[in-house]
A = this chain, B = another copy of it.
Amino acid sequence: MNLDEDLEEAAPDPGGPPLRRARAWLSRAVEPGTIDFWRYVEDVGPVEAVRRLRSGRAPERIRALVGARADEDATLADFARAERCGARLVIPEDDEWPALPLHALTVAVSEEPEKPEHQSDRTKALVPPLGLWVRGTHRLDELVDRSVAVVGARAATAYGEHVAAELGHQLGERGWTVVSGGALGIDGAAHRGALAAEAPTLAVLSCGVDRPYPAAHGALFHRIVDNGLLVSEWAPGCAPLRHRFLVRNRLIAALTRGTVVVEAAARSGAQATARRAQELGRQVMVVPGPVTSAMSVGCHELLRDAELQAVLVTSAAHVIEAVGRLGDDLAPQVQGPSSPRDGLSDVAVRVLDACPVRTGVSPERLAAVAGCDVVAVLRVLPALELADLVEWTGTGWRMAPRPAPG
């Protein structure tokens, strides 16, 4: 069906096919990260925005952003291409839209000046996405609910990849989703670590979710589709252009509770992601390394930057401590029934956080992860079990499944 006819029939049904098609068209009309374009779509609504742009009734400034692409329509081809690879377009009107994490971008863009010449560059602008192409079976909002970004250099060292994989594994084991950029080096190691713990992981790409880029990560992406999500603002088929990496980085920062930088050269993209995270009120965490390693120079710069308030982390326990705390600060919950976690001792909280969600582990393992001695673990486990927070699987201890919210 012709795009314009389709939109003519647009019912007020939010999320209906014309709305999704409108957002698909808009996501191709102007590169993501463009402040004024996003504001225009917010103001008039996506369907009306497409109508006005197609009929030349949009303001001159907005039409200029779209240019000749106003006359093109690749939406049906995009949807067909998405269907072939098992992808879908998730839009803000969908239930699974990660509205809470992305709210920080809405706040950030509201602080941008009105005049385009004073606004942040597109590569730096903190603007929400118009829609997200998503490939995989998990619900996007659920997967990012307890998530941490682990990012770093592509030209990582063996040390960096080891640490990233270990962090990915431990975070995955304890029910945290590892989010990264799917790149070579640190990103790939973090994804692989999570997958090795049989935990879902999420890669935010700067190209179409059907494009194996980098080519060497084709098999990795297939594994992520099986247990996790590939996510992109760019329609299937889009190429990984250089500036798109920087635009994409704001999503990695926004979707997660905090960003861990494992290795970064001086003045690198990973540093940029860390600064985006801080601007969005997210916790920045940094893994140090040898001062003799060029791949840790950027990490040490971040840790020396007092304004950034980056936390030095050396283990998943440190990461969870940092983002757990921040999660509480950022999202004060409506006063509900008191949580069974309330009133737990520090050691008990650490032991609880050390429990994997799937396979049970020994008290010795819990002690190693929680950073306390076995006696302390054995002392707190009975109380945690009585509170239905942990359970004995017959071979080890794990977190008890959470009761459905009443």
Contacts and interface: CB of A to CB of B under 8 A. Distances in A.
7 smallest A-B Cβ distances: which pairs?
A: A288-B288, A291-B314, A303-B312, A300-B314, A304-B312, A290-B290, A159-B290
A339 interface: no
A196 interface: no
A311 B300 contact: no
A69 interface: no
14 contacts: A159-B290, A163-B291, A288-B289, A288-B291, A288-B296, A289-B289, A289-B290, A289-B291, A291-B314, A291-B315, A304-B311, A304-B312, A304-B318, A312-B312
A162 interface: yes
A312 B303 CA distance: 7
A287 interface: yes
Contacts of A300: 288, 312, 314
Contacts of A291: 163, 287-289, 314-315
A292 interface: yes
Question: What is the total number of copies of this protein in its complex?
Answer: 2
Interface string A141-166: 00000000000000000010011000
Given A163-B291, A289-B291, 14 more contacts: A159-B290, A163-B292, A287-B291, A288-B288, A288-B289, A288-B291, A289-B290, A290-B290, A300-B312, A303-B303, A304-B311, A304-B312, A304-B318, A312-B312
Contacts of A292: 159, 162-163
A292 to B, nearest CB: 7
A202 B201 CA distance: 54
Nearest to A300: B314
Interface string A291-317: 110001100100110000001101100
A318 B303 CA distance: 13
Nearest to A167: B291
A173 B55 CA distance: 72
Contacts of A318: 304
A324 to B, nearest CB: 15
Nearest to A288: B288
Contacts of A312: 288, 300, 303-304, 312
Interface in A186-213: none
Contacts of A314: 291, 297, 300
Nearest to A315: B291
A319 to B, nearest CB: 12
A289 B297 CA distance: 12
A297 B315 CA distance: 11
A306 to B, nearest CB: 9
A311 B306 CA distance: 9
A378 to B, nearest CB: 21
A296 B163 CA distance: 15
Contacts of A297: 314
A159 B297 CA distance: 16
A291 B297 CA distance: 15
A303 B300 CA distance: 11
Contacts of A163: 291-292
Contacts of A296: 288
Nearest to A312: B303
Contacts of A288: 288-289, 291, 296, 300, 303, 312
Contacts of A159: 290, 292
Nearest to A262: B291
A5 to B, nearest CB: 59
